[in-house]
Structures are given as C-alpha cells and as structure tokens.
Amino acid sequence: MSAMISGSLRRPLAVFAAILTIILASVVGMASAASAHNYVVSSTPTEGQTLTELPGEFIVTTNDVLLSAGAVAMEVTDADGLFYGDGCVTIDGASVTMSAALGAPGDYTLTWQAVSADAHTISGVISFAWAPTQPGDESVGHATAPQCGVSSEEEQVEPSATAEEPSTPAVPEEESTLPVAIWIASGLIGLAVIAVVIMAIRRKR
C-alpha cells in the first residue's frame, strides 16, 4: 500500500519541483531587475583623454534613460581647485550634459551625478588633460562651484541680498519590487502545493 502511495506521489512531486524552480527563477530575475543601475557607455571627455580642442559640451551617456528630477550635477575643476562652466546641467534621455569651458592648459577633473532609471543616485569622476592647439579657448575659473543662471558677480553678493534659490527636488525614494515578488512567489507556491495534493488524491482513488 505504501509503495502504491509513494508511486502515485512521484509524478506530482516532480511537477511541483519544476513549478518551484520556475517560481524561484522568476523571483531572482525580478530582484535583479529591481537592483540594476544605469552604467556609463560613453563620455566627452573620456578617462585619461587629452583634449586639444574645446568640445561644445561635456557629456556623459548611460545605457538607459535618466530621471530629470533629483540630485543632478556636473562640475569641472582644474588642478588648483578652480571651477569652470556655468553650472547649467541638462538631462537629455540617457545623457547628462553641460556647456564646456576650461582655463589654462593642465589637468582637469569632471565630476558628475545623476538619477538612474531605478531612482538611485549614480555618479562618477573623469580625469583628463587640456592642451589647446589654438589660443582663445581659455576661460576664467571660479573659487566656488557656479550656479546656473547666477553670474560670478552676483555670487559675491551677501546671501540676504539675493533671491532665495529654489530648493533642489529630493531624489525619489526607491520603491523596491522585491516584497511584491515575494508575495507573488508565495501565492504561486501555495497554488502549486494545492495542485499536487489534488493530483495525489485523484491518483490514490
């Protein structure tokens, strides 16, 4: 009798194992997708590059769209810590850009920050050199990071005499899909167990 019951359960248990494997694979896939951040696919300048001509803009392009709201920034500094550019950063699809400006020839650093498609803040640092072949492309550096729409003269004014700067939108908090995946997986496992029990009862009868 026990041998018959064991035999009758063998096939349902195999079906249950297959269903469980599929469910676990789906949960792992959803968790991996939820934790994936954008990554850089190209940039101007590239790491270690020596620029001989001033590009129209500095740009960092990722593999997926970037969110326009949140902690978006791009700064260019020389070896002395002086800042260059107007501080106006633009998100265009998968890219973050800023108008290019550099000072005297030498070593520079481009620091950027954006919000990934999964609402995580991502950032990076690109070191490059500036060796212009034509004069006239040099700009004046600033002791402090420039703010978009604010001239260097206006930055000298006391904060109380200037209009209040608009607050930067907060980076949206991540809403993880992992708990949802766990609930879905639990429900599917429960259904699979019920199906196995029904199949076993029918085969026993």
The predicted-structure confidence for 85-100, as pLDDT tens digits, reads as follows 999 999 999 999 999 9
Sorted by where each begins, the domain ranges of the chain are 2-34+176-204, 40-155
User: Of 168, 189, 142, 144, which Cα lies nearest the Cα of 26?
Assistant: 189
Pairwise CA distance, residues 65 & 88, whole Å: 19
CATH class of 40-155: mainly beta
Q: pTM for this structure?
A: 0.60
Chain centroid to Cα 46, Å, comes to 19
- In sequence order, what are the residues at sequence separation of 6 or more whose Cβ sits closer than 8 angstroms to the Cβ of residue 17? none
* pLDDT, tens digit (0-9, with 9 covering 90-100), for 113-171: 999 989 899 999 999 999 999 877 789 999 999 999 887 555 444 433 433 444 444 44
